[in-house]
Structure 1
Amino acid sequence: MRQAYSYVRLSSKKQIQGYGQERQWEAIQMSALAHGWDLSDKTFSDLGVSGWKGANIETGALSQFLKCVEDGYVEKGSVLIVENVDRLSRAGVNRAVTLLMQLLDSGISIFTFTDNKLYEPNSPNPLMDLMGWALSAQRAFEESERKSQMILNAKAKAREEARTSGKIITRRCPSWMQVNANKTVFELLPERVDTVRKIFALYINGYGTPRIGRLLTEEGRKPLVGRAWYPRSLSRILQYRAVLGEYQPTLNGKAEGEPIKDYYPAIITEDQFNEAQAILHEGGAGQGRRGEDMRNYYAGLLRCSCGEGMHIVSSKVKGKRYYQMRCLQYRISCFGGSWNFNKFASFTLFALRRLPLLELMGSRDNGNIKQLNDKVIQLSSRLEDSRKQLENTINAIAELGLNELLQNKYKQLTSLIAETDSQLHAAKSALELSHGQVAIQKEDTQMLTGRLLELLANTKDVDSRIKLNQVLRRYLSKIELEADKTNELRYIRIYRKDGDLLVTAECSHRLNNALFYGSDGTTEAMELVRE
């Protein structure tokens, strides 16, 4: 008795949930019974696997059957029972014929129960078998192509409707909203919207993504996706333009066309979004290890003159807490001594407060916004013109046929469109960053032009210390500390982001008074009130 094996393939969820699998299996059993074949308990099924892309042959159950044939587990003379040719392959004539010849050459017969046809290795009419197989494969391939094109056309039509009328084309949407039952409007989920807005507010105010995640967890806020608040997922939210109401259509996993503005309800203003992008572009907020109370609002800036970093240590004397700064190599390879943090902070804030604001912020010029805006307009116009030329060229090819002149024109235009599109994307990104930097500088100006006492007062709570650290790190590269024990002097040198020396403070050994030397040649003195 010949051994028979079953193969069932269903490509869609609808077929799987329906009667398709049971129908094929019943027909396979009847076919084996009618021909007197012994149907193996070993079955091969590809459920939800495409035959058009060839996934069943490459990685599916059919590939396992082919491996069993190759290894000899399926003996020669066995029969593979399937519904019809397209269950094995919809990937075109060449692939289907190759599969047929591979099985026949291995001594395996194929029975298609739809047309009651047995394809044998030693068929008396091999040419007719091959032609029939090829015709069936071609029909299956054309049917798949037709269905695929219909789906693409339907999706393209839906995307166009979304662009022109704002029609909701899918229930999939950002996790802080949902589509109503009639699929006519997006409904915001207040608790989740509040969480997203808090993420942006915290980030703009100097909180890094790890600290934001801890704070949201402590408040009992559930993650929008996943089981925990991860820095990576928070970074994605900060860069997700859906918060502005934009929807980016995709095709095969890639962006397709321009984003659709005002498709979703916006929950973040453009100024807030651009400000967050500018901070991300400059290296992010709250980088590096920070204590829970963010005591050191100079974190990431302090350097000992020996080249090592510095950190804060605390001690308690007669019930009073004191904070000292020390080199990381203190009493190992560096003997510069300790620094009283509060006195150091007073001198440093005084030095920064006395500097002209533009000198502190450097030569950053946001006057290029107009130029960038003009460039975006120019590139958009060029892109639109190139696309029209490409459309005319395609129409000419359709009417006149493909010749060398039209072929070269087509290649030039497609290359120009790709290059212009890339330049336009870069210009838009630069424009958004410039807008974000303007928003940042506006806020920083208000903070940095305040009085010294106000700046000092701003260090009393964690939020203000975090914000001050972010501002200082934005405009400064380092604050270098040197202890000159020979002359009993201490020096504080503050450097701007571009590396230029801003100001030097020459302090007494006990940090009770200091002389400030500005880069512009000005000198000023300060004396601390003795406790």
Structure 2
Amino acid sequence: MRQAYSYVRLSSKKQILGYGEDRQCEAIEAAALANGWELSDKTFSDLGVSGWKGANIETGALSQFLRCVEDGYVAKGSVLIVENVDRLSRAGVNRAVSLLMQLLDSGISIYTATDNKLYEPDSPNPLMDLMAWALSAQRAFEESERKSQMILKAKAKAREAARSSGKIITRRCPSWLCVNQDKTAFELLPERVETVQKIFDLYVNGYGTPRIGRLLTEEGRQPLTGRAWYPRSISRILQYRAVLGEYQPTLNGKPEGEPVKNYYPAIITEDQFNEAQAVLKEGGAGKGRRGGEMRNYFAGLLRCSCGEGMHIVSSQVKGKRYYQLRCLQYRISCYGGTWNFNKLSSHVLFALRRLPILEVMGSKDNGNLKELNDRVRDLTHLLEDTKNQLDNTINAIATLGLNDMLQTKFRELTAAATDIEGQLSSAKTALETSQGQLAIQKQDSEMLTGRFLELIDNTKDLDGRIKLNQVLRRYLSKIEMEADRDAEYRFVRIFRKDGELLVTATCDHKLNSALFESVDGTETMELNNS
């Protein structure tokens, strides 16, 4: 008895939920029974796979059948039963005919159940078979092309409606929103909105994405997507402009045209969003390994003069907790001794407090906001003018027909519009980043220029320590500590982000007093740190 195999393909969710699969299977079983073929238990099904782009041939179940034929698991003389030609391919005549010839050359016959047509390797009328196959393939391709154009036009119309009137075009929306029953407005989901706002607040205040994820998990907040809070998903939220109320239409998975502003309800301010982008551009917040209490708010900055990092250790004497700093090579290759953390902190924070704020921040270039604003405006006008010229060229082609001059003009304007869109996107990003950096610097200057006691108060709770660490790491590259157990003095050197030495503190061995030397002169301070 001749062996037969079934192939079923459904391209849409509607077909899968409907009667399509049962219909195809029943037709295949009836064809095998009518022709006396033994239908294999091994079936090949592509559910939710399009045949228009050839995905079923390249990666789907049909590609598995072709490999089975090639490897000899499907014997020559076998029959592949399908409902009709378009189940195998809608990718056009050339692709469909190539598939037919590939199977026939491998000794496999194809039976289409709709028209009871058997395509055999040794057919007496191969030309007629080829023509019938090609005509069926062409009809399938034209139908798919027509449906595709209808869908594209409908989507384009919906996008224009969203831009012109703010009309809701789909129920798909950010996970902190939902669409009301009559599809006239978005409704906020308060708990999820609060979660997103908390993510932004924590991030701009120094929490890294891993720590944010752990905190949200501890608070019992459900992830917006997926099973858990992952750093990557939190980063995506921080960069998702829908929090500002923007909707970015897409075409084939890529942004199409300008975003639609005020389409969604905004849940984050422009300043908050720009601050987060500035932190992201600088490498992110909260990098480096930290303990649960984040006791060392100089984490990532402290360096021993031998070149190794410093770490904090604690001990308890008569019920009192003491914190010390040691080189990572302490008593291995480095014998610089330990440092009292609280006393060192007093000296470092005092030194920063007395320095001019602009000296600490350095000459960080945030870009000229006026120039960036002017560039965004000029590029926007240039893009509008180029698109108008492109529309006029298309109208001329429709009226006069396509000639070499109009074709060249069309290509030039299309390339120019694409290039200007890229420049405009870059300029907008630079403007937003610059605005965010200025907002951050304003907050940092307020923090750094506060009174000395206020800086110390910032270290008394976890949030304050994390924020202070973020600010210090934004403007400092390292704090170098030099100590010799046999020497009378210890030295602390604070370096700005660009590597320039800001201030040197010469301390007595017990860190009770220090002499500060900076570009502004020399100043002596006595601290009661004993």
TM-score normalized with structure 2 length: 0.94
Q: Secondary structure at the match of 1:57?
A: helix
Matched residue, 1:379: 379
Deviations 1:157-197 (A, max 9, x none): 11111111111122221111211222221111111111111
On the 8 A contact 2:343/2:529 being kept in 1, the answer is no
Structure 1 residues 182 and 487: CA distance shift in structure 2, 3 A: same
Structure 1 residues 512 and 427: CA distance shift in structure 2, 3 A: same
Counterpart AA for 2:526: E
Q: Displacement, 1:509?
A: 1.7
**Pairwise CA RMSD of aligned residues?**
2.0
Matched residue, 1:239: 239
Structure 1 residues 74 and 233: CA distance shift in structure 2, 3 A: closer
Q: Displacement, 1:81?
A: 2.8
Counterpart AA for 1:262: N
Q: Displacement, 1:106?
A: 3.1
On the 8 A contact 1:297/1:465 being kept in 2, the answer is yes
Structure 1 residues 108 and 319: CA distance shift in structure 2, 3 A: closer
Q: Displacement, 1:8?
A: 2.5
Matched residue, 2:99: 99
Matched residue, 1:159: 159
Are positions 1:289 and 2:289 aligned together?
Answer: yes
Deviations 1:244-301 (A, max 9, x none): 1111122222111111111111111111111111111112111111122221111111
Are positions 1:342 and 2:337 aligned together?
Answer: no
On the 8 A contact 1:248/1:260 being kept in 2, the answer is yes
- Counting only pairs closer than 5 Å after superposition, residues 11-50 of structure 1 correspond to structure 2 as 11-50=11-50
Matched residue, 1:213: 213
TM-score normalized with structure 1 length: 0.94
Q: Secondary structure at the match of 2:483?
A: strand
On the 8 A contact 2:335/2:484 being kept in 1, the answer is no
Matched residue, 1:328: 328
Counterpart AA for 2:21: Q
On the 8 A contact 2:10/2:46 being kept in 1, the answer is yes
Matched residue, 2:249: 249
After alignment, is 394-403 or 325-334 more displaced? 394-403
Q: Equivalent pairs: percent with the same residue?
A: 79
Are positions 1:418 and 2:418 aligned together?
Answer: yes
Deviations 1:415-438 (A, max 9, x none): 322222222111111111111111
On the 8 A contact 2:511/2:529 being kept in 1, the answer is no
Q: Secondary structure at the match of 1:201?
A: helix
Matched residue, 1:192: 192
| Aligned-partner Cα distance in 1 for 2:287–2:71 | 57
Counterpart AA for 2:346: S
Q: Displacement, 1:381?
A: 1.5
Could you list the runs of 5+ residues in structure 2 that have no partner in the other structure?
A: none
Matched residue, 1:391: 391
Deviations 1:175-222 (A, max 9, x none): 112112222211111111111111111111111122222222222222
| Aligned-partner Cα distance in 1 for 2:42–2:319 | 80
Structure 1 residues 21 and 231: CA distance shift in structure 2, 3 A: closer
Q: Secondary structure at the match of 1:323?
A: strand
| Aligned-partner Cα distance in 2 for 1:5–1:317 | 81
Structure 1 residues 135 and 482: CA distance shift in structure 2, 3 A: same
State the number of aligned residues.
530
| Aligned-partner Cα distance in 1 for 2:336–2:73 | 78
Structure 1 residues 483 and 111: CA distance shift in structure 2, 3 A: closer
Q: Displacement, 1:406?
A: 3.6
Structure 1 residues 225 and 74: CA distance shift in structure 2, 3 A: closer
Deviations 1:75-118 (A, max 9, x none): 44443332222122111111111222223333333332322333
| Aligned-partner Cα distance in 1 for 2:426–2:210 | 29
| Aligned-partner Cα distance in 2 for 1:349–1:498 | 19
Q: Displacement, 1:518?
A: 1.2
| Aligned-partner Cα distance in 2 for 1:317–1:381 | 71
| Aligned-partner Cα distance in 2 for 1:86–1:382 | 46
| Aligned-partner Cα distance in 1 for 2:42–2:480 | 75
Q: Secondary structure at the match of 2:66?
A: helix
| Aligned-partner Cα distance in 1 for 2:38–2:313 | 82
Could you list the runs of 5+ residues in structure 1 that have no partner in the other structure?
A: none
Q: Displacement, 1:13?
A: 2.0
| Aligned-partner Cα distance in 2 for 1:153–1:42 | 41
Q: Displacement, 1:492?
A: 1.2
On the 8 A contact 1:501/1:519 being kept in 2, the answer is no
Are positions 1:525 and 2:524 aligned together?
Answer: yes
| Aligned-partner Cα distance in 2 for 1:60–1:459 | 59
Q: Secondary structure at the match of 1:4?
A: strand
| Aligned-partner Cα distance in 2 for 1:405–1:205 | 58
After alignment, is 15-24 or 246-255 more displaced? 15-24
Matched residue, 1:79: 79
Structure 1 residues 213 and 104: CA distance shift in structure 2, 3 A: closer
Structure 1 residues 183 and 485: CA distance shift in structure 2, 3 A: same
Matched residue, 1:272: 272
